[in-house]
Structure formats: structure tokens, C-alpha cells
Chain A
Amino acid sequence: MAEHRCKVLVIGGGPGGYVAGIRAGQLGLDTILVEAARVGGTCLNVGCIPSKAMIHVAEQFEAAHRFTAPNSLGISVAAPAFDLPTAMEWKNGIVGNLTGGVAGLLRKAKVRVIEGTATFKDGKTVSVIRPDGETDTITAETIIIATGSESVELPFLPFGGDVISSTGALALDEVPETLCVVGGGYIGLELGIAYSKLGAAVTIVEMADRVLPLYDAELTAPLTRRLEELGITVLTGAKVTGAKDNQVDVTDASGESRRITAAKILVTVGRRPFTKGLGLENLALDMDRAFIKVDARCQTSMRGIYAIGDVTGEPMLAHRAMAQGEIVAGVLAGKNESWDKRCIPAICFTDPEIVSAGLLPDEAKAAGFDTIVSSFPFRANGRAMTLEREDGFIRIVARRDNHLILGIQAVGAGISEMAAGFGLAIEMGACLEDIAGTIHSHPTRGEALQEAAFKSLGHALHL
């Protein structure tokens, strides 16, 4: 049983925690990071990165498969074969590289990493149960809670066996013949689309009247069309009433009961903050429902205790956690930092991809803004044509009075790479004239952004 002392203790080594740790170390703070599994958290190990790897595999396989039929590109191939274990190994290699890289960066920043599960004893002391059963005690001046989130389980569909979470879906050893995805949010869609492309017959069950219910119908329409093209069955307005073995009972929009039989049932109905076993009951922190309440400096209601990332609420996104981690480290190093971001762009790596930065049209209206909303379709974009993907558009939401850009949304193949530009525009306080006045390289999909700004200003060029 070892005793440790440090200035900063970070609980959780995900994107929030490891960024806070690295930055704190860089700023010269004596820092310990406790992680129960491998550093990198959900994002690197079982989330963002491995899912993107599998999506890439699926896209490549689908492309190869497409060339088995006559096509306008004149390419023909024999029926492609696919070996999932090989792809998994490749994916695991990437995960290994990245988590190893994070561990190296922590070392370089002189952060001590302790493997184990942390439990608060009081506001300054944490006990850590190590894998070997030993218990360490860490006393810290400041503690950052960065324990992240976990998949929500349905009571009648507990994880186990053929009922899998997103984590399970990224560790299958064969492509299931049939896959039922419960929950049409972005995680279920990303994985459902990937397995569909890899050959599974996929059914997606969503309670709301459309998939990605947080986005407006205009934005999700190209995705809905594509799901149909891919042969994915989407049951919207459908409620899961029960499940047994490999069968899911669903009442669909028309009120009829259906029974879906699937080799695997993927439950992606959301994520909840992970605080189990953390001993928060010993702290009496102010909570916001299940989330830990924090202020603009990520400080909780208790002095010396900070929280970042998914435990602090929506949106549960890695880049939000990273930004918070950086702020907290700065605050602890005595810098005057606080959360002042204008937008946290969100991306769905569906097919087509969807990006949303800033306010959606409805959100802007609800916030009291008189807006101009204009979109420019990729069917009028040369680069989109050359990529055989003319579906989707870029849409700008701006204030009518001064043309300040409030939000930018886009849907289209490969559009995720434009998220940085959207975020930059909003963070810099760009107005329509700024985007209209910026040369957008030709031929790229990005031209659609400038065209949408032109259109908002009343003079689209290519429409």
C-alpha cells in the first residue's frame, strides 16, 4: 500500500483527463493521473477512433463491392472477400499506437500514471484499488474528475451475449448476418451503416419520428435517403416493448407490433455520466441531474474539486472535454482562464456525414434571432460530382440585422473535414460578408460554403 502526494490528481485518462494531465505537467504542476484501464478513454479505446477505423473498412469494402456490378467508372472486380478479424487487428493496432502515444506524452510531461480504480475518501484524498488488489492512497491539493460516460443499458435488454453496446460492436469476430440497432442516434447509425456495408442486414429502431431527432428534418433528409439506398430498414416512431433471446418486439408508428429477429442486438440509446464507485457520496457535490455541476472554470461546488468532460454534461464530445481539460490545467497553474467558446462543432460520421456548428435554424429562432438561412446543394458543386456524391448541402444560419453567422450545418460525404472551418468562422465572429469575401479553393466541396454565403446575401453565383 503506497501513499502518494501531488498537487493535481486527475481521475480518468480519457481525452479530458489526459489533456488536463499533459497540460498540467507542461505547466510544471506535480500531477498524478489515475486510469482504471488504458489511457485514451472511451474515445481512443472503444469510441471515436476504433469506430472511425471500422467505418473506413466498411466504406472500402462497399466500394469494392460496388465495382462487382456494372458502373459508370468502368471498373470491374471479382466479388471481394472480407475477413473481420484482420480488420479488427488493424484497428487495434491504431488504437494501440494512439494509446501508447498518449502514455508517452504523459511521461514526457512528467505525469505519474497509476493504474487502478479511484474512490474519493474526502475532498483531498482518493484511494486507488490497483489491479493487483493493493490499495494506494493519494492526497492531492486539487482533484479533477474526468471519469467520462458509459453506454445506457435498457432494463429489458441488458448487455451480454448477443445484446451488445457500441464497445461490443467494435470487438466482434464476425459480421453478423442480421443486426438490430436499438436507438437511431449518431452512434447507432454510424455502426449500423458500417455493418450494413460489411454485409449485415440492419434494422434500426428509433422512438422519435426520424433518426438523429436532435437535428432538423432538412439536415437528416439526405441521410434518410442514403439509408434506404443501403437497404437499411429504419423503423421510426417505434418503441421496443420487449426482448427475448435474439428477438426484439417493437410497436411501430402505425401501432402494429413487429418482432425483429437478429443475430446481434446493438443498444445505442445514449450515454450517461460514469461515476459508479467514485465515492461522490463522500463529497456532496452539486449535481445537474446525473451530471456534476461545474462553472466556467470547470470548478464544482467544492473548492479544489474540478470536473471535465462527459461527467459534466452535454454535449458529450471528446473535443469539449479536451478544451475543458486545457482550461482546468491553466486555472490550476494560476492563469485566468474560463470557458468562453462560442461553439462546439458536432459530427456524425454517418453516410453521408453530418456536421453542425453553432445554432440550428430552430435554435436560433428560439433564441430570439431574426435569421437568414441559406443552403447550397452539392448537386451544383463540381467536386461533389467528380466524387459521385452529389447528395447533401451546406447551410448557413445568420442574423438578419448584422449578418453575424450563428450556425453552419452541412451534410455530405467527407464533410467532416470542414467542421474545423465552420468552427473557426463562428469562433472568430465571422459574418456572411467575411465568408463571401474569402476565396474558397476550386474545385472543392468547401466552395458550397462561400456559395451559401453568397446566396444569403442575395447573389448566389452557381445556382
Chain B
Amino acid sequence: MRRAASVVDQRVERMGILTIKMPDIGEGIAEAELVEWHVAVGDPVAEDQLIASVMTDKATVEIPSHVSGTVVSLGGEVGQKLAIGSELVRLEVAGRGEPAPTEAAQAEAAALSAEPVGAHAAAPAVEAPQPDPKAEPAPPSAAKPAPAPAKPAAASPAAGHAVAPRAEGEKPLASPAVRARAREAGIDLRTVAGTGPVDRISHADLDAVFEKGSTQGNGSPKRGLAPDTSVKDIKVVGLRRMIADKMAASKKHIPHITYVEEVDVTKVEDLRATLNKSKRDDQPKLTLLPFLIKAMVIAIRDEPGVNAIFDDEANIIHQYGGVHIGMAAQTPNGLVVANVKHCEARDIWDTAAEVNRLAESARKGTITRDELRGSTITVTSLGALGGISHTPIINHPEVAIVGVNKMQIRPTWDGKQFLPRQVMNLSSSFDHRVIDGWNAATFVQRIKVLLEEPAMLFMEG
């Protein structure tokens, strides 16, 4: 008796097209990178001839053909990653009948799955009592069903693959337990692809549906949707590498506490508009940032602990007298933090000019190393993009970061009525090792009061 795999192989049609799929080359491997083609389209391929080399993170594996034929198409380019079970190469197997059982066994040993494609490839070459063809004309609906769908050799339902839709009105094939589970979950089994023999739907196939959170099974071929299994590899180098390291260092070392507060900025916005209208031509246009910086400078006087560098290896907090505000800026290459130095020594116009200058050179890429170092507390703004709050990551080894969210008109209760007010959230994170919640909150509340009554920004000694 032949083994089941050979039965599949028996269905190879003479003069058919045969697809060789990416074999399952090791446990837990979902894809492999094509590193070399040993054949090209149009090449004759002999049995056992190497067709391709593929690489996983563990090893390079050479893949032989288990049949002779001519290469019709290649499944990808060198450097491309192919999912296990996806098409590796298509061969025209010319002038061959079914492979001998020994070949089939070899093919099985190589864990290769070969299935015919093409409209004329469905007749199994089994020896069964043949009904007299004259006495039994093929009934109309006995038209051959669509060729078997490409099945991953690993039989893993997670590895997405195209599905041959079932014939109209055909009941999906599944055990009573699978049917009951699908019913419970409200899944129409007609939309689920079966990976079992005869396209039988297994519990694993249902699992795959649940994982995808849809009732579409492995894609919805009828709507032209198909799973995209492509993966693009991007080397993490340069600035991105530095950002990654810094973010990781910050999250790894610093237990963040994030505090979100709402600030009514109507008054400061009015003031800003007035100033922008009345400013001299040599003065920069004011944004909200210089006002926030000004407020932070004042708040830091009350809570000096937030303006610091924590050297956690030496267990020393370097608390700074000067306020050097890091300003997170988005550049084409990624995030940089420009340093607005000595804000305590700048007036609002000066701060604005410096902010603009740094932002411009960061965008142009002309910013110097020195201008990117030495900040003692950072401001990050996602305001323009919207978002009601976020959890900013502290610019390690600083101990605090103030995040600005989108300014919006919101109804505000003044004790008698709702008034439309310009409101903005501040989302700020603190290093909870050295800053207690109390101090964090006091700092943010102080900023809030200063921005809500902007005259106080300028009433200081």
C-alpha cells in the first residue's frame, strides 16, 4: 500500500505544470530568504538537481527538485523572503506519468509538497473499477472542481494561502465539533478555508480565523483580498539606531510616571495673538512654545528637582541652576532633541528666536552636535497631530519631559454656564525614582496656573 503522500503525487497529470513549494525546512520557521537560484526560466531540470538555496536565521538549505522538467517560472528574486509553503518554482513536467512510489517517498522525505495546477490536472490515477463511460455520461455538474488550492507543506493554517472557493451550494466539510464551535462563534464555515484533506476544516483552521478576528478565513478570494505575507527588512542604523538605543535606555532604566492635566489657554492665546499683531518686524512670530518654556522656567524655581540629570550609576542627581530645554523636533531622518540653552536668561522674544533658529537648522540638517546636547528637561509636542494625551518617554538621563497635546475649543463650566474655551492637555512624564508624584503634580499645576493667567508669567521680580 502506498502512503497518503504518494496519493497526492499520483494526481500529477501527464504534460502538466507542477508547482514545487518552499519546503518546511525546520521547526518554527515561517519563511526563508532566497539566497541563490541554481536554475533560470527555461532551464531543463533533472530529478534531484538543486534548484535553489534558501537561508533561515539558522542555516542555508539547498532545495532539490524531485521531478524532471522545464522551469516555467521562479517564485521570487534572490534576497526575497518566501513563506514556507509558498510557490518556489513552477515546472513543466513534460512527457512523464505519475512519479514512481520511490520518488514520491523521496519527495516526502524532502518534505516537498507537489500539487498540480491547471485546469486539466484533477484526475487521480487510481485503479478503481471504472464505470463504463458509455453507460455513464458524466453528469453536468460533475465538471471538475477547481484545482486543489496551494497548500503549505507545513499544513499550517497560519501561513496564508489562496483558497479555492467551494462549489456553489457545497456544504463545508468539518467535523460536528468544529461545526458546533463555528456556530457558537457565529462563523459561517462556508467562508472558512480548510487545510485538511478534501479541504476539510479543522479546529486549527478555525483558530486561524479567530486569530485574524474575521470570518473571512484565509483571505476573501471572492473580493480579491489576499493575505500579504511580505516582510520588508530595514536596517536600523545611524540616527534611527541612536533613537532606538536612547528610547530603550530610557524605558529600561526609568520607571515613568505620567501625569495628564488640562490647561485653559484662552488667555495666553489672546495675548499671543495681540503680541503677534503688535510686534516689531525684527521680532519673531510667537508660537505657544516660548510661553510654555517661560512657564516651565518659573515652575522649576518651585520644583527644581525636575530640572536635573540623574546619574544612576553614581547615585548622584545633578540639579541644574540653568534651564536648558530640550525641544523634540521631527526631521526626515527621525527625532532629534535640540537644546534651547539658558532659558532662564531669555525673554519671550529671545526664546522664540532661538526656538525658530534651532527648528530650522534641525530641519535642514545643519544642526551641530553641540546644539543637540546638554538639555536638562525636555518639551515634546504632538499637538498639531491631535491626540488627547500621550505618555512621553523621558530624554534619558533627564528626569522630566512635558508633552503638549492638541489645543481645542471645549465647553468649560465656569460655575454658571458652559463657555467655549481654548483647552490643551499637557502629558508629562517623570522619573519616579527621584521625583515623587506630589512634586510632579505640583510642577504641572504651577505651569497650568501660569498659562491660564499669563500675566503672572511676567509679574516675577
Contacts and interface: CB of A to CB of B under 8 A. Distances in A.
Interface of A: 336-338, 340, 342, 365-370, 372-374, 400-404, 427-429, 431, 433-434, 436-437, 454-459, 461
A336 to B, nearest CB: 5
B4 interface: yes
Interface string B114-141: 0000000011101111010000101111
Contacts of A337: 183
8 contacts: A402-B148, A402-B197, A403-B124, A428-B176, A455-B128, A458-B128, A459-B127, A461-B1
A326 to B, nearest CB: 12
A401 B122 contact: yes
A437 B124 contact: no
A198 B124 CA distance: 52
A457 B174 contact: no
B144 A401 contact: yes
Nearest to A429: B173
Contacts of A365: 136, 139
A376 B410 CA distance: 82
Contact of B173 (A338, A367, A404): A404
A401 B145 contact: yes
A258 B317 CA distance: 119
A330 to B, nearest CB: 10
B142 A369 contact: yes
B179 interface: yes
B144 A431 contact: no
A429 B200 contact: yes
Interface of B: 1-2, 4, 7, 122-124, 126-129, 131, 136, 138-142, 144-145, 148, 171, 173-176, 179, 183-184, 186, 196-200
Contacts of A400: 123-124, 128
Contacts of A429: 173-175, 196, 198, 200
Given A372-B128, A404-B198, A336 B184 contact: yes
A437 B4 CA distance: 8
B128 A428 contact: no
Contacts of A342: 171
A340 B179 contact: yes
A342, A401, A456: most-surrounded residue (chain B CB, <10 A): A401
A457 B126 contact: yes
Contacts of B176: 340, 427-428
A278 B173 CA distance: 40
Given A340-B179, A368-B140, A403-B124, A459 B4 contact: no
B198 A457 contact: no
A103 B440 CA distance: 74
Nearest to A459: B1
B210 to A, nearest CB: 16
B126 A336 contact: no
B171 A457 contact: no
B341 to A, nearest CB: 68
A338 B145 CA distance: 28
A369, A373, A434, A458: most-surrounded residue (chain B CB, <10 A): A458
A82 B7 CA distance: 57
B186 to A, nearest CB: 7
B126 A372 contact: yes
A338 B186 CA distance: 12
Given A401-B124, A427-B176, A429-B200, A457 B140 contact: no
Contacts of A366: 139
Nearest to B147: A401
Contacts of B197: 402-403, 431, 433-434
Contacts of B199: 402
Contacts of B1: 436, 454, 457, 459, 461
Nearest to A434: B197
B175 A368 contact: no
Given A372-B126, A404-B173, A454-B1, A336 B140 contact: no
Given A370-B142, A427-B176, 8 more contacts: A337-B183, A340-B171, A340-B176, A368-B139, A370-B138, A434-B197, A457-B7, A458-B126
B358 to A, nearest CB: 63
Contacts of A403: 7, 124, 197-198
A366 B141 CA distance: 10
A459 B183 contact: no
A322 to B, nearest CB: 15
A357 to B, nearest CB: 14
Nearest to B148: A402
Contact of A428 (B138, B139, B175, B186): B175
Contact of A427 (B122, B144, B175, B186): B175
A368 B139 CA distance: 5
Contacts of A369: 139, 142
Nearest to B167: A368
Nearest to B128: A372
Contacts of B7: 403, 433, 457
A320 B128 CA distance: 34
A334 to B, nearest CB: 12
Contacts of B142: 368-370
Given A401-B144, A401-B145, A433-B197, A457 B128 contact: yes
Nearest to A341: B176
Nearest to A402: B198
Contacts of A458: 126-128
A436 B126 CA distance: 14
Contacts of B200: 429
A112 B176 CA distance: 32
Contact of A373 (B129, B145, B148): B129
A368 B128 contact: no
Contact of B183 (A336, A456, A457): A336
Contact of A431 (B141, B184, B198): B198
Contacts of A373: 129, 131
A367 B175 CA distance: 22
Pick the 10 closest A-B CB pairs, nearest first.
A368-B141, A458-B127, A429-B173, A372-B128, A370-B142, A458-B126, A368-B139, A404-B198, A428-B175, A429-B200
Contacts of A401: 122-124, 144-145
A455 B129 CA distance: 9
A101 B244 CA distance: 73
Contacts of A455: 128
Given A402-B198, A427-B175, A456 B128 contact: yes
Contacts of A436: 1
A64 to B, nearest CB: 42
A404 B127 CA distance: 16
A337 B186 CA distance: 11
B173 A433 contact: no
A370 B141 CA distance: 9
B128, B145, B179, B200: most-surrounded residue (chain A CB, <10 A): B128
Contacts of A437: 4
A431 B200 CA distance: 10
B128 A374 contact: yes
A459 B2 contact: yes
B260 to A, nearest CB: 43
A54 to B, nearest CB: 34
Nearest to A370: B142
A373 B174 CA distance: 23
B4 A433 contact: yes
A401 B142 CA distance: 10
Contacts of B128: 372, 374, 400, 455-458
A336 B187 CA distance: 11
Contacts of A402: 145, 148, 197-199
Contacts of A433: 4, 7, 197
A370 B184 CA distance: 34
A286 B317 CA distance: 86
A298 to B, nearest CB: 15
Nearest to B127: A458
A181 to B, nearest CB: 35
A329 to B, nearest CB: 15
Nearest to A461: B1
